[in-house]
Structure 1
Amino acid sequence: MFHRPAIPTVELPWLSASGNAGFAALGASFATPTSPTPLPAPHWVGCNDAFRAQLGLPNELWQQQEVLELLTGNREPANHATYASVYSGHQFGHWAGQLGDGRALNLGAIQSPIGLHELQLKGAGPTPYSRRGDGRAVLRSSIREFLASEAMHGLGISTTRALCVTGSPAHVHREEVETAAVVTRIAPSFVRFGHFEHFAANGQIDELRTLADHVVAEHVPKLQAMQGAQRYVALLHEVTQRTAALMADWQAVGFCHGVMNTDNMSILGLTLDYGPFQFMDGFDANHICNHSDHQGRYAYARQPQIAYWNLFCLGQALMPLIDEQGPALAALESYKQAFPEAMDQRMRDKLGLQGAHEGDRTLVEDLLQALQQDHVDYTVFWRRLSIAVRESAHSSHAFEPVRDLFLHREVFDAWCTRYLDRLGAIDRQATGDAMLRTNPKYILRNHLGELAIRQAKAGNFAMVQDLLHVLHSPFDEHPTYETWAGLAPEWASSIEISCSS
């Protein structure tokens, strides 16, 4: 039996109004009442004021001690229970059985100007699903998740969001002794593929249907009029389409997730659970960002196929509601068209190409091979190419800074000739400007996160806030932070990231 410790409560109007709405309203089979475990001497590490304003939360939020205590897990909402949810899943391709919120604690939902959003504390102590874990998160991984969530949002990629990080001097034991932290993450829903897998695997068909109907009613209301199996086939198709779009977004920006288990896949097509993620520096299609992924299952180039595999796991979980295999397979097979089409469009946008021409995919594939051959910095290449297209309107040397990124310059020269021919007689200035709004100048590189973490461990949180500011508008110039847009230093390649957090 899991016992709830008695801790103080706090009543906040913005949290009380809709606390029992959303996922919590589904009942005891879904939401297990669980209290947080307090941490000593909490303090703010990072505060996302822009997101606070979007949510309509009070201007003085960061000055309120009771909010600091609440978002560290030292107080509970006065009018409703905090809870952990149960789910199951496939991890690294194998059925892992029951999992659940092992260190995520749900505060409930808030009604905001941008809709109903669920609040979740990551690192607020053990839950009934911690599986002998301590339920904690460390400062290092918490800062990474805080910044990555907002970096993805700034890039226009679907993601959970992060409101703040709080820290504590309490010790947490990982590979070494670190200090504790708690991330407040927010999303319209934290429902995962694994929630559906859990109820299907346990033969809880009523709960499976309740969950599916909840997702439809709250998040895909356009399907509400459908009845029976048709509704659940349409839901599977919707999730497939959203997931295909998300994978195209990841691949286009060079994002590696690192742990694409089914319990880390969002039913809404959000980027979920930032563990051993990485934005690539030098391009390598076979890059493995997670040092715990010894077989390379979740390498960059494999992510789209893994998403497809995960969708089949979801489809299998929904079969008790669908019955006939044919419609479910048709919904899943739509991925084979949706992902390549989305990927083609992302790459045309990055290249500034108008319309779809035969040979565009070959042009992209040949470019990626050239980038791979020389491990050219992925983000710097696209930014320089954008500037070159713009400057080529009035300069014959505009592409030299791009060419300088390659060791095999003759390979780039041959490709560039084909590229310029494909661009044709366009307005180079306008095309380059559009490319600069598509290809970011700033990403959350591993070494930037590492520098912010090192400063934060020493008690200086300024770089966390500065990075947050820049990553919210990554297509802008931000001349004060120009060095953050440069090539990664040599020591960046030695940073190891794993599932430990």
Structure 2
Amino acid sequence: MPLRFDNQFADKFPELGHAQSIQPDGKGRLRWVNDALWKALSGGDSAPGALVDWVSGNKDWPGTKPIAQKYAGHQFGHFNPYLGDGRGLLVGQVQAPDALYDLHVKGAGPTPYSRGGDGRAVLRSSIRELLASEAFYALGIPTTRALALVSTEGQIQRETVEPGAMLVRVARTHIRFGHFEHCLYRNLEDSAKRLWQYSIESIWPGAANKSVSEQFRHVVEATAEMIAKWQAYGFVHGVMNTDNMSLAGETFDYGPYAFFDEYKPNHIFNHTDHAGRYGFMQQPGVGLWNLKRLAHALGGFTDDQSVNDVLEGYEPVLRETFLNVMKQRLGLTDVSNNDTCWSLISGWLMLLETYQLDYNLSYRALSAILEGNWQSLSGNLGEIAQRINENGQSWLNDYTEAIANKPDTETMKRVNPLVILRTHHAQYVIEQAEQGSDEALNEYISALMTPFEEKHKNTRWVVPPESGQPPAELSCSS
């Protein structure tokens, strides 16, 4: 059956947006479609041939009711009331067999919230978001999803002239912390109350009849769990403004992001983040700061003390989630003494940082060391295993004692990817796509969707950048 649209946000909250259609930018070309996701949303059907014309705006998308959402937000710690969907539209909401999902088209043309921008997205940034969202999904990190990528005939002026694109994003919600900041700024208390209750009913229906503070607990815990998983997999978001924080705790608005190659926790990837506000080590604290801004915005219809009490639960959830993921990654699931686990985790991270080892491949190398077959490894994995074995004997001795010489390498292989999203591979894919070829794009997405499988061991997608190469500096330009 076709997608069943139920456009609740546009119907219930017209005052929080601007209704308009996708504005075409020439003929569209379908570059990639997530057929498995389309089938999940539709109940089994494949994506229709008309999708490219719907996404590019050259034909009306049946059942949709596009709206550009208005919100505010704190950007690098400073409040900005003039934000909103400047180039994207919530085109509609789909009632899937399991839940209601948002469909959002990025690059859909200028809106009243474009602030002088052209309302377009470039192919480069669209591919980066596509790769990130599907890589995250495969790793089990809460995320928005990519449904389809369409390139356009438009030539978009950024630092240089770049080819244009439109990306269809799927999310549980596009309601951001910044929606409530906008309502507070504009004294829209009734809208804020209704939007909050609507959000809870949509995302956590079981909490619909609870107090606002108990409902808020779901947002706090979802945010903590999301950021804990970022930390465990070595991910830097790069621009954690409150308008980039999803109420559902899904990783949102992929911009100047990166996964670590060599573990350098103090490196700042976003070259505009001069103070390092959104660096890797700051992410947990920024998450709490952002939640406090949301709590303040909810203050008109909740008890401040109750909400502050809920915020106290943020750090314990973050620490517990991080610990549990790291115990799996390091094969410590049978070690009951958490103090021992924390000590081993700290020692492991210090080892990686001191010897500048590749963050994610080191876990795969460790499992080979524990199985006693690391000397048969070739290439980068073999080199990493050798360096761990040479430089980490003290840590390995403590580790072996803690696990009673019974490593859980099967769990380790299920959670430690061979293929991780790397900036230099993404750039190669982008360059190929800009020349008209989608072969590398399809190949890399396929690998990122199955990141734990041994079949990738000898492919280009496992290879990190050359040792000693400085980490990439990334831009918010998109």
Counterpart-to-counterpart distance in 2, 1:291 and 1:361: 32
1:376 aligns with 2:379: no
In structure 1, the partner of 2:32 is 46
Task: Confirm or deny that 1:103 pairs with 2:87.
Answer: yes
- The residue number in structure 2 matching 1:184 is 168
Which of 195, 206, 226 does residue 222 from structure 1 map onto?
206
Q: Deviations over 1:248-285 (max 9, x none)?
A: 11011111101000000010000000111111100011
> Contact 1:47–1:465 (CA<8 Å) still a contact in 2?
no
SS of alignment partner, residue 55 of structure 1: helix
Residues 112-131 of structure 1 show CA distances to partners (whole Å, capped at 9, x for unaligned) of 23422111000111111111
- Per-residue displacement from partner, 1:180-211 (whole Å, max 9, x unpaired)? 00000011211111111110122111011001
State the match for 1:7 in structure 2. none
On the 8 A contact 2:227/2:318 being kept in 1, the answer is: yes
TM superposition outliers: structure 1 runs of 4+ over 4 Å: 57-60, 394-403
Identity %: 36
- Return the letter of the residue paired with 1:462: E
- Is the 1:139–1:167 Cα contact (8 Å) retained in structure 2? yes
Structure 2 counterpart of 1:432, from 385, 395, 409: 409
For 2:158 and 2:44, the matched residues in 1 are separated by 36
Q: 2:452 aligns with which of 475, 482, 493?
A: 475
Q: Which residue of 1 aligns with 2:5?
A: 18
* Cα drift, residue 356 of structure 1: 3.1
Superposed CA offset, 1:124-166 (max 9, x none): 1111111111111101000111111100001111100001110
* 1:359-386, Cα deviation, whole Å (9 max, x unpaired): 3212211221121112210011011112
SS of the counterpart of 2:387? coil
Distance 1:359 1:277 in 2: 32
Letter in 1 for 2:428: L
Provide the secondary structure at the position in 2 that maps to 1:453. helix
Q: How does 1:328-407 map to 2 (within 5 A)?
A: 328-353=307-332, 354-357=334-337, 358-389=339-370, 391-392=371-372, 402-405=384-387
Contact 1:36 1:126 in 2 (8 A): no
Alignment partners' CA distance in 2, 1:76 and 1:422: 62
Q: Confirm whether residue 300 of structure 1 aligns to residue 286 of structure 2.
A: no
Per the alignment, residue 270 of structure 2 pairs with 290
Alpha-carbon distance in structure 2 between the residues aligned to 1:220 and 1:50? 25
User: TM-score when scaled to structure 1?
Assistant: 0.90
Q: Does 1:240 align with 2:224?
A: no
Distance (whole Å) between structure 2 residues aligned to residue 395 and residue 175 of structure 1: 46
- Answer whether contact 1:14 1:110 (CA < 8 A) is retained: no
Written as runs of structure 1 = structure 2, the 5 A alignment for 1:100-249 is 100-226=84-210, 231-249=211-229
1:346 and 1:58 mapped to 2: Cα distance?
33
- Shift of the 281–395 alpha-carbon distance from structure 1 to 2, 3 Å rule, reads closer
Tell me: CA distance 1:481–1:31, structure 2 relative to 1, closer, same or farther (3 Å). Answer: farther
Q: Tell me how large the CA RMSD over aligned residues is.
A: 2.2
In structure 1, distance between residues paired with 2:346 and 2:468: 30
Indicate the SS of the match to 1:269: coil
Aligned mates of 1:209, 1:271 — CA distance in 2? 24
1:254-269 paired onto structure 2 within 5 Å: 254-269=234-249
> Quick check: 1:380–1:486 contact (8 Å CA) kept in 2?
no
Q: Tell me, what secondary structure is at the counterpart of 1:29? A: helix
| Equivalent of 1:414 in 394, 401, 409 | 394
Unaligned runs of 5+ in 1: 1-12
Moved more, 44-53 or 433-442: 44-53
Partner of 1:6: none
Decide whether the 8 Å contact of 2:7 with 2:92 is kept in 1.
Answer: yes
Q: Deviations over 1:408-455 (max 9, x none)?
A: 944x111111111111142x4xx1111000111111111111110010
- 1:461 equivalent among 438, 456, 460: 438
Task: State the distance in 1 between where 2:39 and 2:140 align.
Answer: 18
Tell me the distance in 1 between the aligned counterparts of 2:92 and 2:286.
Answer: 31
Q: Distance in 2 between matches of 1:92 and 1:195?
A: 17
CA distance in 1, matches of 2:140, 2:298: 30
Structure 2 gaps, min length 5 = none
- The yes-or-no answer on 1:274 pairing with 2:262 is no
Report the CA distance between 1:78 and its aligned residue: 4.4
TM-score, normalised relative to structure 2: 0.94
Deviation digits for residues 57-91 of structure 1, max 9, x if unmatched? 775525x1x32111123333345531111110000
Does the 8 Å contact 1:89/1:95 carry over to 2?
yes
- In the aligned structure 1, how far is the partner of 2:345 from the partner of 2:33? 40
CA distance in 2, matches of 1:401, 1:493: 19
Hey, what's the Cα distance between the residues in 2 that align with 1:18 and 1:79? 6
Give the aligned length.
Answer: 473
**CA–CA distance in structure 2, aligned partners of residues 368 and 254 of structure 1:** 11
Query: Alignment partner for residue 29 of structure 1, among 1, 8, 15?
Result: 15
CA distance in 1, matches of 2:142, 2:244: 14
